[in-house]
Amino acid sequence: MQRLYDFIRRHPTGVDCFWAVFVMGLAALRFVGDMDSGPLWAAVPVVVGLGAVIALRRRMPEKMLVLAGVIGLAQLVFDVPPGAANFAMLVIIYTVAVQSTSRWASRAALVGGLAAATCAQIRWPTPDQSALRQIFITIILTVPFALAWSLGDSVRTRRAYFAQLEERARRLEKEREAQSKVAVAAERARIARELHDVVAHNVSVMVVQADGAAYVLDAAPDQAKQALETISSTGRQALAEMRRLLGVLRTGDGPESGEYVPQPDVQQIEDLVEQVRTSGLTVDFKIEGTPRPLPSGVELTAYRIVQEALTNTRKHGGPDVGASVRLVYFDDGLGLLVEDDGRGAAHELYEDGGADGQGHGLIGMRERVGMVGGTLDAGPRPGGGFRISVLLPLKTA
Protein backbone atom coordinates (compact mmCIF):
# COMPACT_ATOMS: atom_id res chain seq x y z
CA MET A 1 0.00 0.00 0.00
CA GLN A 2 2.84 2.38 0.81
CA ARG A 3 4.40 1.73 -2.59
CA LEU A 4 1.10 2.52 -4.29
CA TYR A 5 0.81 5.73 -2.31
CA ASP A 6 4.36 6.74 -3.22
CA PHE A 7 3.69 5.98 -6.88
CA ILE A 8 0.58 8.18 -6.83
CA ARG A 9 2.55 11.05 -5.27
CA ARG A 10 5.32 10.74 -7.86
CA HIS A 11 2.96 10.64 -10.86
CA PRO A 12 0.05 13.01 -10.14
CA THR A 13 -0.60 13.79 -13.81
CA GLY A 14 -0.74 10.11 -14.70
CA VAL A 15 -3.32 9.53 -11.95
CA ASP A 16 -5.40 12.45 -13.23
CA CYS A 17 -5.27 11.07 -16.77
CA PHE A 18 -6.52 7.73 -15.48
CA TRP A 19 -9.52 9.36 -13.81
CA ALA A 20 -10.15 11.48 -16.90
CA VAL A 21 -10.38 8.35 -19.04
CA PHE A 22 -12.60 6.71 -16.44
CA VAL A 23 -15.04 9.66 -16.38
CA MET A 24 -15.07 9.88 -20.18
CA GLY A 25 -15.86 6.16 -20.30
CA LEU A 26 -18.87 6.65 -18.01
CA ALA A 27 -20.04 9.54 -20.16
CA ALA A 28 -19.66 7.39 -23.31
CA LEU A 29 -22.07 4.81 -21.85
CA ARG A 30 -24.75 7.43 -22.13
CA PHE A 31 -24.21 7.62 -25.86
CA VAL A 32 -24.29 3.83 -26.21
CA GLY A 33 -27.51 3.60 -24.19
CA ASP A 34 -29.12 6.01 -26.61
CA MET A 35 -30.16 8.24 -23.75
CA ASP A 36 -30.96 11.91 -24.09
CA SER A 37 -27.45 13.37 -24.32
CA GLY A 38 -28.11 16.24 -26.69
CA PRO A 39 -26.68 16.56 -30.20
CA LEU A 40 -23.79 14.15 -30.64
CA TRP A 41 -21.66 16.69 -32.51
CA ALA A 42 -21.77 18.94 -29.41
CA ALA A 43 -21.79 16.29 -26.68
CA VAL A 44 -18.54 14.61 -27.77
CA PRO A 45 -16.38 17.78 -27.61
CA VAL A 46 -17.96 18.59 -24.24
CA VAL A 47 -17.01 15.19 -22.82
CA VAL A 48 -13.49 15.35 -24.28
CA GLY A 49 -13.00 18.91 -22.98
CA LEU A 50 -14.14 17.98 -19.46
CA GLY A 51 -11.78 14.99 -19.56
CA ALA A 52 -8.93 17.36 -20.43
CA VAL A 53 -9.94 19.54 -17.46
CA ILE A 54 -9.44 16.58 -15.11
CA ALA A 55 -6.20 15.46 -16.75
CA LEU A 56 -4.53 18.90 -16.70
CA ARG A 57 -6.03 20.38 -13.56
CA ARG A 58 -2.78 20.31 -11.55
CA ARG A 59 -0.56 21.74 -14.28
CA MET A 60 -2.83 24.57 -15.44
CA PRO A 61 -5.55 25.13 -12.83
CA GLU A 62 -6.54 28.66 -13.95
CA LYS A 63 -6.66 27.73 -17.65
CA MET A 64 -8.65 24.57 -16.95
CA LEU A 65 -11.09 26.65 -14.87
CA VAL A 66 -11.66 28.94 -17.84
CA LEU A 67 -12.06 25.90 -20.10
CA ALA A 68 -14.62 24.40 -17.72
CA GLY A 69 -16.56 27.67 -17.73
CA VAL A 70 -16.56 27.81 -21.53
CA ILE A 71 -17.73 24.19 -21.74
CA GLY A 72 -20.52 24.92 -19.25
CA LEU A 73 -21.75 27.82 -21.37
CA ALA A 74 -21.55 25.62 -24.48
CA GLN A 75 -23.74 23.03 -22.75
CA LEU A 76 -26.35 25.68 -22.03
CA VAL A 77 -26.25 27.05 -25.55
CA PHE A 78 -26.22 23.73 -27.45
CA ASP A 79 -28.57 21.89 -25.10
CA VAL A 80 -26.13 19.25 -23.81
CA PRO A 81 -27.58 18.07 -20.47
CA PRO A 82 -25.20 17.46 -17.52
CA GLY A 83 -23.73 13.98 -17.24
CA ALA A 84 -20.92 12.07 -15.57
CA ALA A 85 -18.31 14.21 -17.29
CA ASN A 86 -19.58 17.27 -15.41
CA PHE A 87 -17.94 15.83 -12.31
CA ALA A 88 -14.87 17.61 -13.70
CA MET A 89 -16.39 20.93 -12.59
CA LEU A 90 -16.35 19.85 -8.95
CA VAL A 91 -12.78 18.68 -9.36
CA ILE A 92 -11.53 21.91 -10.96
CA ILE A 93 -13.27 24.06 -8.35
CA TYR A 94 -11.53 22.13 -5.58
CA THR A 95 -8.19 22.26 -7.40
CA VAL A 96 -8.32 26.01 -7.99
CA ALA A 97 -9.26 26.63 -4.37
CA VAL A 98 -6.24 24.56 -3.25
CA GLN A 99 -3.50 25.54 -5.72
CA SER A 100 -4.31 28.87 -7.29
CA THR A 101 -2.49 31.91 -5.94
CA SER A 102 -4.75 34.27 -7.92
CA ARG A 103 -7.66 35.71 -5.98
CA TRP A 104 -9.72 36.16 -9.14
CA ALA A 105 -9.46 32.45 -9.99
CA SER A 106 -10.59 31.35 -6.52
CA ARG A 107 -13.50 33.81 -6.55
CA ALA A 108 -14.47 32.83 -10.09
CA ALA A 109 -14.48 29.15 -9.08
CA LEU A 110 -16.78 29.89 -6.13
CA VAL A 111 -19.16 32.06 -8.16
CA GLY A 112 -19.21 29.58 -11.05
CA GLY A 113 -19.89 26.67 -8.70
CA LEU A 114 -22.76 28.46 -6.97
CA ALA A 115 -24.27 29.49 -10.31
CA ALA A 116 -23.86 26.13 -12.09
CA ALA A 117 -26.78 24.32 -10.41
CA THR A 118 -29.10 27.30 -10.82
CA CYS A 119 -28.32 27.68 -14.52
CA ALA A 120 -28.73 23.93 -15.09
CA GLN A 121 -32.08 23.86 -13.27
CA ILE A 122 -33.36 26.78 -15.29
CA ARG A 123 -32.14 25.29 -18.60
CA TRP A 124 -33.33 21.74 -17.85
CA PRO A 125 -36.12 21.97 -15.30
CA THR A 126 -37.49 18.82 -13.69
CA PRO A 127 -40.93 18.12 -15.18
CA ASP A 128 -44.07 18.07 -13.04
CA GLN A 129 -42.38 19.75 -10.07
CA SER A 130 -43.60 22.77 -8.14
CA ALA A 131 -41.53 25.94 -7.95
CA LEU A 132 -40.74 25.34 -4.30
CA ARG A 133 -39.44 21.87 -5.07
CA GLN A 134 -37.41 23.22 -7.95
CA ILE A 135 -35.76 25.70 -5.57
CA PHE A 136 -35.08 22.91 -3.07
CA ILE A 137 -33.45 20.75 -5.75
CA THR A 138 -31.34 23.71 -6.87
CA ILE A 139 -30.09 24.24 -3.32
CA ILE A 140 -29.27 20.54 -2.93
CA LEU A 141 -27.30 20.56 -6.20
CA THR A 142 -25.43 23.72 -5.16
CA VAL A 143 -24.18 22.24 -1.89
CA PRO A 144 -21.52 19.94 -3.48
CA PHE A 145 -19.96 22.88 -5.34
CA ALA A 146 -19.84 24.99 -2.18
CA LEU A 147 -18.34 22.10 -0.22
CA ALA A 148 -15.73 21.47 -2.91
CA TRP A 149 -14.60 25.10 -2.82
CA SER A 150 -14.69 25.26 1.02
CA LEU A 151 -12.67 22.06 1.33
CA GLY A 152 -10.09 23.26 -1.18
CA ASP A 153 -9.75 26.67 0.49
CA SER A 154 -9.35 24.99 3.89
CA VAL A 155 -6.60 22.71 2.56
CA ARG A 156 -4.82 25.69 0.97
CA THR A 157 -4.97 27.65 4.23
CA ARG A 158 -3.67 24.68 6.18
CA ARG A 159 -0.78 24.15 3.76
CA ALA A 160 0.12 27.85 3.92
CA TYR A 161 0.04 27.68 7.72
CA PHE A 162 2.39 24.69 7.82
CA ALA A 163 4.66 26.31 5.25
CA GLN A 164 4.80 29.43 7.43
CA LEU A 165 5.66 27.31 10.48
CA GLU A 166 8.43 25.55 8.56
CA GLU A 167 9.82 28.86 7.33
CA ARG A 168 9.71 30.27 10.86
CA ALA A 169 11.48 27.16 12.19
CA ARG A 170 14.19 27.52 9.55
CA ARG A 171 14.58 31.21 10.35
CA LEU A 172 14.79 30.53 14.10
CA GLU A 173 17.37 27.82 13.48
CA LYS A 174 19.48 30.25 11.47
CA GLU A 175 19.11 32.87 14.19
CA ARG A 176 20.15 30.36 16.84
CA GLU A 177 23.20 29.43 14.77
CA ALA A 178 24.09 33.12 14.36
CA GLN A 179 23.63 33.75 18.09
CA SER A 180 25.76 30.72 18.89
CA LYS A 181 28.53 32.00 16.64
CA VAL A 182 28.35 35.44 18.27
CA ALA A 183 28.45 33.85 21.73
CA VAL A 184 31.43 31.70 20.76
CA ALA A 185 33.26 34.73 19.34
CA ALA A 186 32.53 36.74 22.49
CA GLU A 187 33.74 33.90 24.71
CA ARG A 188 36.90 33.53 22.66
CA ALA A 189 37.53 37.26 22.95
CA ARG A 190 36.98 37.12 26.72
CA ILE A 191 39.37 34.18 27.13
CA ALA A 192 41.90 35.94 24.89
CA ARG A 193 41.74 39.03 27.10
CA GLU A 194 42.17 36.91 30.23
CA LEU A 195 45.13 35.05 28.74
CA HIS A 196 46.70 38.31 27.63
CA ASP A 197 46.40 39.79 31.11
CA VAL A 198 47.75 36.66 32.80
CA VAL A 199 50.64 36.14 30.40
CA ALA A 200 51.60 39.79 29.89
CA HIS A 201 51.68 40.61 33.59
CA ASN A 202 53.14 37.47 35.12
CA VAL A 203 55.63 36.72 32.38
CA SER A 204 56.90 40.32 32.36
CA VAL A 205 57.41 40.09 36.14
CA MET A 206 59.30 36.83 35.69
CA VAL A 207 61.48 38.32 32.93
CA VAL A 208 62.36 41.38 35.02
CA GLN A 209 63.17 39.24 38.05
CA ALA A 210 65.23 36.81 35.97
CA ASP A 211 67.26 39.67 34.50
CA GLY A 212 67.79 41.13 37.95
CA ALA A 213 68.81 37.78 39.40
CA ALA A 214 71.33 37.26 36.62
CA TYR A 215 72.73 40.75 37.20
CA VAL A 216 73.24 40.39 40.98
CA LEU A 217 73.91 36.64 41.12
CA ASP A 218 77.60 37.04 41.93
CA ALA A 219 77.50 40.34 43.82
CA ALA A 220 74.38 39.80 45.98
CA PRO A 221 73.31 36.16 46.20
CA ASP A 222 70.54 37.01 48.69
CA GLN A 223 68.86 39.39 46.23
CA ALA A 224 69.20 36.80 43.49
CA LYS A 225 67.56 34.22 45.75
CA GLN A 226 64.71 36.61 46.50
CA ALA A 227 64.23 37.26 42.77
CA LEU A 228 64.11 33.54 42.08
CA GLU A 229 61.49 33.12 44.79
CA THR A 230 59.44 35.87 43.18
CA ILE A 231 59.74 34.12 39.82
CA SER A 232 58.56 30.88 41.40
CA SER A 233 55.52 32.42 43.10
CA THR A 234 54.62 34.42 40.01
CA GLY A 235 54.85 31.30 37.84
CA ARG A 236 52.59 29.39 40.21
CA GLN A 237 50.05 32.20 40.12
CA ALA A 238 50.16 32.27 36.33
CA LEU A 239 49.69 28.51 36.17
CA ALA A 240 46.73 28.66 38.56
CA GLU A 241 44.99 31.34 36.50
CA MET A 242 45.68 29.51 33.25
CA ARG A 243 44.27 26.30 34.72
CA ARG A 244 41.13 28.21 35.59
CA LEU A 245 40.82 29.54 32.04
CA LEU A 246 41.52 26.15 30.49
CA GLY A 247 38.99 24.57 32.84
CA VAL A 248 36.32 26.73 31.23
CA LEU A 249 37.19 25.17 27.88
CA ARG A 250 36.91 21.61 29.15
CA THR A 251 33.66 19.71 29.47
CA GLY A 252 32.64 16.73 31.51
CA ASP A 253 32.72 15.75 35.16
CA GLY A 254 35.88 13.64 35.08
CA PRO A 255 39.24 14.44 36.62
CA GLU A 256 40.20 16.36 33.48
CA SER A 257 37.37 18.84 33.78
CA GLY A 258 39.65 21.42 35.41
CA GLU A 259 39.53 23.17 38.77
CA TYR A 260 37.66 26.46 39.06
CA VAL A 261 38.96 29.20 41.32
CA PRO A 262 37.45 32.61 42.20
CA GLN A 263 38.27 35.39 39.77
CA PRO A 264 40.36 38.33 41.00
CA ASP A 265 38.51 41.20 42.69
CA VAL A 266 39.21 44.69 44.01
CA GLN A 267 40.52 43.39 47.33
CA GLN A 268 43.33 41.58 45.54
CA ILE A 269 44.61 44.77 43.91
CA GLU A 270 46.66 45.48 47.03
CA ASP A 271 48.30 42.05 46.73
CA LEU A 272 48.94 42.77 43.05
CA VAL A 273 50.62 46.07 43.92
CA GLU A 274 52.74 44.36 46.55
CA GLN A 275 53.81 41.75 44.02
CA VAL A 276 54.79 44.48 41.58
CA ARG A 277 56.79 46.22 44.29
CA THR A 278 58.81 43.07 44.89
CA SER A 279 59.76 43.10 41.20
CA GLY A 280 61.49 46.45 41.69
CA LEU A 281 58.78 48.90 40.60
CA THR A 282 57.91 51.65 43.08
CA VAL A 283 54.11 51.89 43.38
CA ASP A 284 52.07 54.20 45.58
CA PHE A 285 48.65 52.73 46.37
CA LYS A 286 45.73 54.57 47.96
CA ILE A 287 42.02 53.93 48.46
CA GLU A 288 39.60 56.84 48.78
CA GLY A 289 36.00 56.60 49.86
CA THR A 290 34.24 53.79 51.68
CA PRO A 291 34.93 50.33 50.22
CA ARG A 292 31.79 48.30 49.55
CA PRO A 293 30.77 45.21 47.55
CA LEU A 294 30.72 45.71 43.78
CA PRO A 295 29.36 43.64 40.89
CA SER A 296 31.73 40.80 40.03
CA GLY A 297 32.20 42.12 36.49
CA VAL A 298 33.23 45.54 37.79
CA GLU A 299 35.69 44.02 40.29
CA LEU A 300 37.32 41.79 37.67
CA THR A 301 37.54 44.72 35.24
CA ALA A 302 39.17 46.95 37.87
CA TYR A 303 41.73 44.30 38.77
CA ARG A 304 42.65 43.56 35.15
CA ILE A 305 42.99 47.24 34.28
CA VAL A 306 45.38 47.88 37.16
CA GLN A 307 47.29 44.75 36.25
CA GLU A 308 47.62 45.75 32.60
CA ALA A 309 48.48 49.36 33.45
CA LEU A 310 51.32 48.33 35.78
CA THR A 311 52.55 45.84 33.21
CA ASN A 312 52.67 48.61 30.59
CA THR A 313 54.54 50.83 33.07
CA ARG A 314 57.15 48.13 33.58
CA LYS A 315 57.48 47.54 29.82
CA HIS A 316 57.49 51.13 28.57
CA GLY A 317 58.34 53.30 31.57
CA GLY A 318 62.08 52.95 31.38
CA PRO A 319 64.55 52.82 34.27
CA ASP A 320 63.75 54.25 37.73
CA VAL A 321 60.06 54.60 36.87
CA GLY A 322 57.50 55.02 39.63
CA ALA A 323 53.75 54.55 39.52
CA SER A 324 50.70 55.38 41.57
CA VAL A 325 47.33 53.61 41.83
CA ARG A 326 44.19 55.31 43.15
CA LEU A 327 40.88 53.60 43.87
CA VAL A 328 38.03 56.01 44.50
CA TYR A 329 34.62 54.80 45.67
CA PHE A 330 31.88 57.15 44.45
CA ASP A 331 28.19 56.90 45.23
CA ASP A 332 27.41 55.51 41.79
CA GLY A 333 30.64 53.89 40.71
CA LEU A 334 34.32 53.12 41.13
CA GLY A 335 37.10 55.33 39.82
CA LEU A 336 40.58 54.13 38.88
CA LEU A 337 43.62 56.32 38.25
CA VAL A 338 46.93 54.70 37.32
CA GLU A 339 49.85 57.05 36.56
CA ASP A 340 53.58 56.72 36.11
CA ASP A 341 56.42 59.19 35.71
CA GLY A 342 58.34 57.28 33.10
CA ARG A 343 58.89 58.01 29.46
CA GLY A 344 55.59 56.35 28.51
CA ALA A 345 54.69 54.38 25.43
CA ALA A 346 55.15 55.69 21.93
CA HIS A 347 52.22 57.76 20.70
CA GLU A 348 51.35 55.27 17.97
CA LEU A 349 50.72 52.59 20.62
CA TYR A 350 47.55 54.27 21.86
CA GLU A 351 46.38 56.71 19.19
CA ASP A 352 44.54 53.93 17.26
CA GLY A 353 43.09 52.24 20.31
CA GLY A 354 46.16 50.40 21.56
CA ALA A 355 47.13 48.03 18.76
CA ASP A 356 50.90 48.06 18.75
CA GLY A 357 51.55 44.98 16.65
CA GLN A 358 52.93 43.25 19.75
CA GLY A 359 49.82 43.03 21.92
CA HIS A 360 46.39 44.45 22.56
CA GLY A 361 46.65 45.86 26.07
CA LEU A 362 44.75 49.12 25.63
CA ILE A 363 42.26 47.46 23.27
CA GLY A 364 41.54 44.87 25.94
CA MET A 365 41.07 47.64 28.52
CA ARG A 366 38.58 49.47 26.35
CA GLU A 367 36.66 46.27 25.65
CA ARG A 368 36.49 45.39 29.34
CA VAL A 369 35.34 48.86 30.32
CA GLY A 370 32.79 48.91 27.50
CA MET A 371 31.34 45.59 28.60
CA VAL A 372 30.40 47.01 32.02
CA GLY A 373 29.26 50.38 30.62
CA GLY A 374 32.18 52.43 31.89
CA THR A 375 34.51 55.02 30.36
CA LEU A 376 38.29 54.98 29.86
CA ASP A 377 40.76 57.73 29.09
CA ALA A 378 44.37 56.81 28.33
CA GLY A 379 47.29 58.90 27.17
CA PRO A 380 50.43 60.81 28.17
CA ARG A 381 50.11 63.15 31.11
CA PRO A 382 51.52 66.66 31.36
CA GLY A 383 55.11 66.62 32.56
CA GLY A 384 55.86 63.15 31.26
CA GLY A 385 54.65 59.71 31.99
CA PHE A 386 51.39 57.96 31.20
CA ARG A 387 47.93 58.10 32.71
CA ILE A 388 44.96 55.73 32.61
CA SER A 389 41.70 57.03 34.06
CA VAL A 390 38.65 54.76 34.34
CA LEU A 391 35.14 55.18 35.73
CA LEU A 392 33.13 52.00 36.30
CA PRO A 393 29.42 52.17 37.16
CA LEU A 394 27.93 50.14 39.99
CA LYS A 395 25.38 48.58 37.61
CA THR A 396 27.03 46.74 34.74
CA ALA A 397 25.74 47.38 31.22
For the stretch 129-166, pLDDT in tens is 788 888 888 889 899 999 999 999 999 999 999 999 99
Distance CA 230, CA 213 (A): 10
Number of other CB atoms surrounding residue 118 within 10 Å: 14
Helix, strand and coil in the chain, % to nearest 5: 65, 10, 25
Q: Which residue has the higher pLDDT, 273 or 343?
A: 273
Q: Are 308 and 340 in contact (CB under 8 A)?
A: no
- Does the pLDDT value for residue 89 go beyond 80? yes
- Does the pLDDT value for residue 254 go beyond 50? no
Residues β-bridged to residue 287:
327
Q: Would you place residue 93 in the very low, low, confident or very high pLDDT band (cuts 50, 70, 90)?
A: very high
Distance CA 253, CA 244 (A): 15
Q: Averaged over 71-80, what is the pLDDT?
A: 89
Residue 250 confidence (pLDDT) = 57
CA atoms within 13 A on the CB side of 97: 25
The separation between the first and the last C-alpha atoms of the chain, rounded to the nearest angstrom, is 62
Which stretch of DSSP H or E encloses residue 3?
Answer: helix 2-10
Pick from 281, 273, 268, 274: nearest CA to 209: 281
**339 contact partners, CB below 8 Å, separation of at least 6:** 323, 324, 381, 385, 386, 387, 388
Residue 357 confidence (pLDDT) = 40
Per-residue model confidence as pLDDT tens digits over 266-319: 888 998 888 888 877 889 999 998 888 888 888 888 988 898 888 888 877 777
Amino acid found at 326? R
Residue 158 confidence (pLDDT) = 92
- Mean pLDDT (the chain) is 81
Q: Which residue has the higher pLDDT, 374 or 382?
A: 374
Q: How many residues does the chain have?
A: 397
- Does the pLDDT value for residue 257 go beyond 50? no
